[in-house]
């Protein structure tokens, strides 16, 4: 008998909690968390709760809707088919809570996002930090931060994400922290969110090893004229665009991975499309460069002007078109499907990651710095109640009821950048299908597409 092919096995923790499919003696329906993708060899089925990806071979596809078949029983055991009355969303909430209990935060801090300064050498009009008063970390605070890291690592390696402002405006604080960590024998790696202007070859040669820097994110807002106008650097008479492009090459030559972020909305879409072509021409074949187009955040709350459905649709379609072009040019690829179920949104609800601001204040998120403070480097302990409040979820909306991606969707109440609209949901479903297709292609490359599980 032809068998199902397991392309990606289920998350073993979720599988253990669910057990075998329930209520198999009566009628069954497809899980609400199912994505289907027809392929030449049959039909791919993806369960976004268990994370299992199956291939139903073409010769069995006709049995998918036929009650009482061995195929349907096998799919029921694997939670692709469920009883009509099953409250799947309630089940997801139970599993999330259980996974949190089974996987508590590490008893040490695993990652720090460090704002060495809120000052910046660029003046981007869209910056979410606009209006923040410039603050710069002193060397004394840098010393206290390094000591805090050592005291809260329990001897384990940890990560540092340099952030700002522009972190390199206060390079001396970075050097001071890392020198102190190295002298103490601490194990750490770092990444950086930077505009790239100050990360020149000399700086990379001098400090990349000291910082244990392995990856950077750099934003390019357009080609030469547009970039220089939008960034509006404080340095007169310098072609910042050419300088940053050269610095990207220097980083990759030093072994540092670079993600180039392209922020866009409809006002600069044509410019970003032209930039995409330039980047493909310049960096095609460079394995350390990834380019990703990001739709500028849609603000919500008092005074915010929401986008129209037509604008949202146009932006989502434009993003997918850019992604397709970048994938064809070798500078992007679909995201891999997760192997373990998500029960955290980000660092804010992780319980073992912190943000440290220039004055030594400690928070949970670098993007909303005054609204999530939980302590200070000098505090004997952090505000546990505030950390718990950060885990509170937004109320579910009616669209959650039939969303196939609900199990992996965590929306925190403290985060304002989570507008869920039909165009965004449709785009995310399409991106997930692209990931399913990519996993299938990778499976065939590894196995020849012939192995039965």
User: How many Cβ atoms are within 10 Å of 236's Cβ, its own excluded?
Assistant: 5
In a domain, 258, yes or no: no
Task: Quote the CA–CA distance of 99 and 340 in Å, as a whole number.
Answer: 11
User: Is residue 208 one of the residues assigned to a domain?
Assistant: no
Work out the pLDDT band at 131, boundaries 50, 70, 90. Answer: low
Lowest mean pLDDT of 247-261, 319-333, 338-352, 412-426, name the range: 412-426
Q: Decide if 17 is inside a domain.
A: yes
Q: What is the phi-psi region of residue 196: left when phi exceeds 0, alpha when psi lies from -120 to 50, beta otherwise?
A: left
Q: If we measure between CA atoms, which residue out of 272, 247, 245 comes closest to residue 326?
A: 272
Residue 128 tokens, joined: 């979410």
| pLDDT tier, 419 (very low <50, low <70, confident <90, very high otherwise) | confident
pLDDT tier for residue 263 given thresholds of 50, 70 and 90: very high
Task: Give per-residue pLDDT as tens, 217-248.
Answer: 999 989 999 999 989 898 988 899 999 999 99
CB 395 within 8 A of CB 154: no
Q: Residue 263 region, left (φ>0) first, then alpha (ψ -120 to 50), else beta? A: beta
pLDDT in tens, 65-95: 988 899 999 999 999 999 999 999 999 999 9
pLDDT of 449 > 80? The answer is no
pLDDT at 298: 83
Q: Give residue 23's pLDDT.
A: 62
Residue 452 has pLDDT above 50, yes or no: no
Taking the chain, what is the end-to-end CA distance rounded to the nearest angstrom? 12
The reply to whether 282 falls in a domain is: no
- Whether residue 165 has a cis bond before it, omega within 30° of 0: yes
Question: Is residue 257's pLDDT more than 90?
Answer: yes
Which residues are CB-contacts of 370 (< 8 A; sequence separation ≥ 6)? none
Strands 53-57 and 5-8: antiparallel
- Written as six digits, the tokens of 147 are 């000591």
- Which residue range is the domain that position 430 belongs to? 5-102+421-447
**152 near 104, Cβ under 8 Å?**
no
Using the predicted structure, report yes or no on whether residue 171 has a pLDDT greater than 80. yes
Q: Is residue 392 part of a domain?
A: no
Q: Read off the pLDDT of residues 359-375 as tens digits, 9 standing for 90 and up.
A: 999 999 887 656 789 99
Percent over 90 (pLDDT), the chain: 77
Confidence of residue 3 (pLDDT cuts 50, 70, 90): confident
Q: Supply the pLDDT for residue 299.
A: 75
CA distance 335 to 353: 24
Other Cβ atoms less than 10 A from the Cβ of 267: the count is: 8
pLDDT at 451 over 60: no
What is the count of structural domains for the chain?
Answer: 1
Question: Is 96 among the domain residues?
Answer: yes
- When pLDDT is averaged across residues 391-407 and rounded to a whole number, the result is 93
Residue 141 has pLDDT above 70, yes or no: yes
Domain assignment present for residue 340? The answer is no
Average pLDDT over residues 238-267: 95
In a domain, 307, yes or no: no
User: Is 451 or 408 the better-scoring residue by pLDDT?
Assistant: 408
Residue 279, classified by CB atoms within 10 Å of its CB into exposed (0-12), middle (13-18) or buried (19+), is buried
């Amino acid at each position: 008998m032809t068998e199902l092919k397991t392309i990606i096995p289920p998350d073993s923790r979720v599988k253990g909690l669910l057990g075998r499919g329930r209520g198999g003696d009566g009628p069954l329906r497809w899980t609400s968390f199912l994505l289907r993708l027809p392929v030449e060899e049959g039909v791919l089925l993806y369960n976004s709760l268990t994370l299992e990806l199956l291939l139903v071979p073409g010769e069995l596809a006709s049995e998918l809707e036929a009650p009482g078949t061995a195929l349907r029983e096998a799919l029921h055991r694997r939670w692709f088919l469920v009883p009509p009355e099953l409250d799947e969303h309630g089940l997801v909430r139970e599993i999330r809570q259980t996974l949190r209990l089974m996987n508590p935060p590490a008893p040490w801090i695993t990652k720090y996002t460090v704002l060495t300064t809120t000052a910046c050498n660029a003046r981007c009009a869209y910056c979410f930090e606009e209006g923040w008063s410039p603050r710069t970390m002193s060397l004394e605070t840098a010393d206290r931060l390094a000591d805090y890291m050592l005291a809260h690592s329990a001897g384990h390696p940890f990560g540092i994400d340099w952030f700002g402002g522009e972190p390199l405006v206060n390079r001396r604080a970075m050097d001071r922290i890392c020198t102190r960590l190295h002298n103490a024998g601490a194990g750490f790696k770092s990444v950086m969110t930077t505009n790239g202007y100050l990360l020149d070859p000399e700086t990379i040669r001098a400090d990349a090893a000291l910082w244990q820097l392995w990856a950077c994110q750099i934003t390019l807002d357009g080609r030469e004229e547009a970039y220089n106008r939008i960034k509006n650097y404080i340095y007169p008479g310098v072609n910042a665009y050419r300088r940053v492009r050269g610095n990207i090459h220097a980083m990759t030559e030093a072994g540092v991975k670079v993600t180039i972020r392209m922020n866009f909305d409809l006002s600069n879409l044509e410019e970003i499309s032209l930039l995409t072509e330039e980047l493909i021409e310049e960096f095609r074949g460079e394995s350390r460069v990834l380019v990703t187009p990001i739709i500028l955040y849609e603000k919500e709350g008092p005074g915010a002007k929401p986008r129209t459905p037509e604008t949202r649709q146009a932006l989502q379609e434009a993003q997918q078109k850019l992604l397709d072009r970048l994938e064809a040019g070798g500078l992007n690829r679909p995201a891999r499907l997760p192997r373990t179920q998500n029960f955290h949104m980000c660092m804010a609800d992780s319980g073992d990651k912190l943000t440290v601001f220039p004055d030594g204040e400690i928070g949970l998120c670098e993007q909303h710095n005054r609204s999530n403070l939980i302590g200070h480097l000098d505090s004997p302990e952090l505000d546990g109640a505030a950390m718990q409040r950060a885990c509170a979820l937004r109320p579910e909306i009616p669209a959650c009821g039939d969303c196939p991606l609900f199990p992996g969707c965590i929306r925190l109440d403290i985060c304002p950048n989570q507008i869920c609209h039909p165009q965004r949901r449709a785009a995310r479903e399409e991106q997930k299908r692209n990931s399913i297709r990519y996993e299938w292609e990778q499976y065939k490359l590894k196995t020849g597409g012939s192995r039965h599980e």
